[in-house]
């Protein structure tokens, strides 16, 4: 088919010039052949993952497992998750009219799901979460929910049962729903002074009652008035100990890090793979010690001080909140570096309201020496931290990472946690490791 | 002073509670004892108790749920506002206090306390704003992200260049600006505190970080 030939040619040319051909070829092909995706013959297995965060890591886990079990996989590995990027990933594995892969594993943007499933029917759509994220683009979580509802062209949904917002898909989806979750564990909270959204029952507007929280309004909930609750869980992490998680009291997986995000990505991956009838053995062997999350989580030691990098997404308070909870697992003396350069790669807005949806208050009285606020929005970050009850004297303000190594070494103490936006991770690591 | 924070757990899309934190901190720095009542759906609201009432922004659905619950207090709210007490509404909650909300063909009765109504657009209005303000010597900066806009027959504008996105009546201020307006606008906040305390002579307070952040925002939004 002409579209395939054209797409592959562009990919070939882009590769020669060392461009990262992640969405341009697809864009050109769809422009010239708008129905290109409709005409292709797809593999029997099409898995899509969407939601506000974690979809990239989850699809990587799933694709890795399938590949390690000798399947060929088409996967938008570069994270281009709009229609153009997905088309590009598909062109890479297509010959003529046939997608020559055993499976497609696609990370799909929440708002673009409806455009993708217009052309490609999914066997499974996994939805990780819907949280406050990119307000200028997304509006709010209710609008995102509505947009996803328009794209549920799938046999099965795989959902996070701990998120009351996702339970609402039951009302709009007639197919099979598989639920996963995380049981109460040593990191759960009895109370969390951070209940912002969906704390009310979506059916009768009564305040939900929680047995425990994992973060925000995610946890074990039930409505005291009607029958709305967390319900039956098909696949559940029961315990986490020394980086080994146990699922359904039976299956043990050794993970690279025990951030809550990673735990959710792992159990979501497991639920998807079980839904396609993979054996526990195959899943576990492939997942054990998987390094997928390395990009988001990095540890090193310099001059006897431990550095932990926690990658956050600006405008997404959930990633920050989860990372702050991770910091607090460390009871020793700590110094925090909070930095970001750009609020968004997609648009120029300067809204920092989301900083106020991050529960910095939990840092109070937790053995924190200094907080370094860095980047063009350093004062906004500093104001937020100050209002969270942190003494202005212990806030260090820096325009960028230049000279930060010296400041850390001379003016701060304890383990260092970098709570960094994706665009601050590299500069920070470079600076602290000494320009290597 | 008593602050009533209406539906803090329902109408809080974008860090709205920063406004209440700002009031508490600044009033406390002035030596005022501050109590905040966090009010949920279904709680009984005693408007007579409050010196300041705050309400923030919500999703379209949640705003209408709030409207349903607030209708019971229509005359209390009217008395409160007419009695010159302080009311701050940010984000789309400003829509609640007008006569009605027109969404396409659908016309929803609002609280009918102030003389304006709301019309919805097909698309969202998303802007960083930097407006001169009738209630502050310095410009107001912030962010708006909403579908509706106010239509008012009276000259009760909050912003000098614009009559769609803000309204003032007595000590009621309604603005489509979302999020921590009082944090991001330290000059406005200081003047607001003066009005609250009904004096020009307030104790000097430290706004250094806030002013630096404000300056940066003004530079960016220009």
pLDDT digits (tens, 9 = 90+) for A160-175: 999 998 999 999 999 9
Same domain, yes or no: A396 and A272: no
For B222, nearest residue in chain A (alpha carbons): A350
Residue A302 tokens read as: 């310099």
A81 three-state secondary structure = coil
Query: Does some domain include residue A196?
Result: no
Chain B: nearest CA to A364, how far in angstroms? 16
Tell how far CA B87 is from the center of its chain. 7
Question: Each residue of A361-387: b (16+ CB within 10 Å) or e?
Answer: ebbeeeebebbbbbbbbbbbbbbbbbb
Tens-digit pLDDT profile for residues A329-378: 999 999 999 999 988 766 677 888 889 989 999 898 899 999 999 999 99
| Nearest alpha carbon to residue A116 among A57, A36, A186, A7 | A36
- Which uninterrupted H or E stretch holds A29? helix A24-32
Domain membership of residue A366 (yes or no) is: yes
Q: Which of A362, A418, A366, A370 is nearest to A393 (CA)?
A: A370
CA distance A31 to chain B (A): 25
Six-digit token pair at A363? Answer: 């840092």
- Subunit contact B180:A135, Cβ cutoff 8 A: no
Question: What CATH number should be reported for the domain holding residue A121?
Answer: 3.40.1190.10
Rounded Cα distance, A208 and A378, in Å: 37
DSSP 8-state secondary structure symbol assigned to residue A208? P
Same domain, A230 and A304: no
Does the pLDDT value for residue A292 go beyond 90? no
Residue recorded with tokens 């209708």:
B71
Q: Using an 8 Å Cβ cutoff, are B150 and B94 in contact?
A: yes
Task: Please count the structural domains in chain B.
Answer: 1
pLDDT for res A203: 86
Q: How many helices and strands in chain A, by DSSP H and E? A: 14, 19
Domain span at residue A343? 295-433
Same structural domain, A233 and A330 = no
Give me the helices (H) in A360-421, please: 378-387, 404-411
Pair (A132, A268) in one structural domain: yes
| A199 domain-assigned | no
Residue A10 is assigned to a structural domain of this protein: yes
A171 shares its domain with A284: yes
- Asked if B13's CB is within 8 angstroms of A392's CB, the reply is no
Closest residue in A to B64 (Cα–Cα): A205
Q: Which of A290, A324, A343 marks a domain boundary?
A: A290
A26 shares its domain with A166: yes
Per-residue pLDDT band for A13 (boundaries 50, 70, 90) equals confident
| Inter-chain residue contact B145 with A196, CB threshold 8 Å | no
- How far is A278 from A286, CA to CA, in rounded Å? 11
Which residues have C-beta within 8 Å of that of residue A171, sequence separation ≥ 6?
none
Provide the domain limits for residue B120: 2-221
Q: Residue A169 has what DSSP assignment?
A: G
Percent of chain A with pLDDT over 70: 93
Look up the CATH number of the domain holding residue B148: 3.40.50.880
B196 neighbors B135 (Cβ within 8 angstroms) = no
* One domain, residues A151 and A72: yes
Same domain, yes or no: A274 and A402: no
Here the ipTM equals 0.93
Residue pLDDT, tens place only, A258-284:
888 889 999 999 999 999 999 999 999
Nearest to B111 by CA among B156, B158, B155, B64: B64
Query: What would the pLDDT profile of A76-107 be if each residue is shown by its tens digit?
Result: 988 788 999 999 999 999 999 999 999 999 99
Residue B113 distance to chain A (closest CA, Å): 25
**Total tally of structural domains belonging to chain A:** 2
Q: What is the pLDDT of residue A379?
A: 97
Q: Specify whether the CB–CB gap between A288 and A247 falls below 8 A.
A: no
| Whether A153 and A168 share a structural domain | yes
Yes or no, beta carbons of A350 and B217 under 8 Å apart: yes
Chains A and B: how many Cβ contacts under 8 Å? 97
pLDDT along chain B (222 residues), means of 10: 95 91 96 96 96 94 94 97 97 95 94 94 86 87 89 78 82 93 96 95 94 92 79
A105 and A166 part of one domain: yes
Interface of B with A (CB under 8 A): 9-10, 12-18, 21-22, 25, 40-42, 59-62, 65, 124, 126, 128, 143, 145, 178-180, 183-184, 206, 209-210, 212-213, 216-217, 220-221
Are B87 and B56 spatial neighbours (Cβ–Cβ below 8 Å)?
A: no
Q: Does residue A282 form part of some domain?
A: yes
Last residue of a domain, one of A263, A290, A317: A290
The answer to whether A72 faces chain B, any CB pair under 8 Å, is no
8 Å CB contact of A142 and B220? no
Whether A195 maps to a domain, the answer reads no
Residues A255 and A381 in one domain: no
Same domain as A233, residue A93? yes
Percent of chain A with pLDDT over 90: 67
Q: What does the alpha-carbon distance between residue A130 and residue A369 come to, in Å, rounded to a whole number?
A: 34
Q: Give pLDDT, residue A41.
A: 96
Which chain B residues are closer than 8 Å to A353 by Cβ? 14-16, 18, 143, 178-180
In this structure, is residue A212 part of a structural domain?
no
CATH number of A401's domain: 3.90.190.20
| Helix or strand (DSSP H, E) at B58 | none
C-alpha A274/C-alpha A396 separation (Å) is 48
Structural domain contains residue A87: yes
Residue A47 and residue A123 in contact, taking contact as beta carbons nearer than 8 Å: yes
Alpha carbon dihedral A284, A288, A290, A293, in 10-degree steps, equals 90
Question: Distance (Å, rounded) from C-alpha A145 to C-alpha A128?
Answer: 12
């Amino acid at each position: 088919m002409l579209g395939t030939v054209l797409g592959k040619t562009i990919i070939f040319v882009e590769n020669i010039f060392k461009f990262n051909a992640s969405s341009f070829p697809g864009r050109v092909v769809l422009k010239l052949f708008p129905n290109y995706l409709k005409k292709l013959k797809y593999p029997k297995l099409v898995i899509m993952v969407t939601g506000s965060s974690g979809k990239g890591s989850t699809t990587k886990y799933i694709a890795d497992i399938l590949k390690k079990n000798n399947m060929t996989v088409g996967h938008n590995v570069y994270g281009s998750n709009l229609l153009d990027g997905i088309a590009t990933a598909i062109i890479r594995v297509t010959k003529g009219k046939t997608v020559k892969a055993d499976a497609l594993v696609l990370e799909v943007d929440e708002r673009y799901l409806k455009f993708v499933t217009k052309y490609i029917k999914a066997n499974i759509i996994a939805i990780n979460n819907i949280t406050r994220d990119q307000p200028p683009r997304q509006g709010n979580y209710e609008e995102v929910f509505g947009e996803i509802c328009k794209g549920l062209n799938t046999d099965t949904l795989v959902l996070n049962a701990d998120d009351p917002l996702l339970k609402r898909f039951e009302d709009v989806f007639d197919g099979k729903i598989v639920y996963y979750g995380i049981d109460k564990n040593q990191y759960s909270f009895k109370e969390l002074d951070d209940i912002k959204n969906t704390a009310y029952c979506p059916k009768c507007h009564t305040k939900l009652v929680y047995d425990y929280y994992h973060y925000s309004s995610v946890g074990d909930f039930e409505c005291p008035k009607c029958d709305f609750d967390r319900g039956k869980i098909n696949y559940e992490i029961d315990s986490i100990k020394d980086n080994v998680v146990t699922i359904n009291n039976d299956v043990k997986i050794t993970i690279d890090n025990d951030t809550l995000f990673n735990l959710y990505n792992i159990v979501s991956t497991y639920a998807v793979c079980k839904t396609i009838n993979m054996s526990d053995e195959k899943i576990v062997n492939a997942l054990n010690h998987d390094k997928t999350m390395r990009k988001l989580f990095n540890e090193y030691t310099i001059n006897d001080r431990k550095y932990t990098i926690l990658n956050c997404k600006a405008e997404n308070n959930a990633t920050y909140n989860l990372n702050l909870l991770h910091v607090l697992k460390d009871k020793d003396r700590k110094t925090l570096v909070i930095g970001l350069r750009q609020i968004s790669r997609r648009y120029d807005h300067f809204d920092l309201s989301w900083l106020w949806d991050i529960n910095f208050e939990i840092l109070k009285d937790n053995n924190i020496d200094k907080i370094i606020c860095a980047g063009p929005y350093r004062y906004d970050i500093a104001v937020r931290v100050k209002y969270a009850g942190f003494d202005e004297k212990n806030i260090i303000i820096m325009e960028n990472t230049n000279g930060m190594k010296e400041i850390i070494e001379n003016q701060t103490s304890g383990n260092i946690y970098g709570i960094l936006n994706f665009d601050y991770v590299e500069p920070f690591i470079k600076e602290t490791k000494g320009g290597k | 002073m008593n602050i009533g924070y209406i539906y803090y757990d329902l109408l809080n899309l974008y860090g709205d509670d920063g406004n209440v934190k700002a009031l508490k901190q600044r009033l406390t720095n002035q030596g005022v004892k501050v109590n905040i009542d966090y009010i949920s759906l279904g709680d009984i609201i005693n408007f007579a108790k409050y010196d300041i009432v705050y309400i923030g922004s919500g999703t379209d659905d949640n705003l209408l749920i709030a409207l349903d619950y607030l209708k019971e207090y229509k005359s209390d709210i009217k008395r409160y506002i007419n009695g010159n007490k302080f009311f701050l509404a940010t984000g789309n909650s400003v829509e609640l206090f007008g006569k009605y909300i027109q969404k396409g063909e659908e016309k929803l009765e609002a609280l009918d306390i102030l003389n304006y109504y709301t019309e919805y657009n097909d698309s969202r209005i998303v802007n960083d704003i930097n407006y001169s303000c009738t209630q502050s010597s310095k410009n107001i900066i912030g962010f708006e992200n909403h579908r509706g806009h106010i239509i008012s027959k009276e000259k009760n504008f909050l912003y000098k260049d614009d009559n769609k996105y803000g309204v003032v009546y007595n000590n009621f201020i309604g603005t489509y600006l979302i999020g921590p307006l009082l944090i991001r606008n330290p000059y406005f906040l200081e003047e607001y505190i003066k009005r609250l305390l009904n004096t020009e002579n307030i104790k000097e307070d430290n706004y250094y970080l806030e002013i630096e952040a404000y300056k940066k925002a003004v530079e960016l939004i220009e």
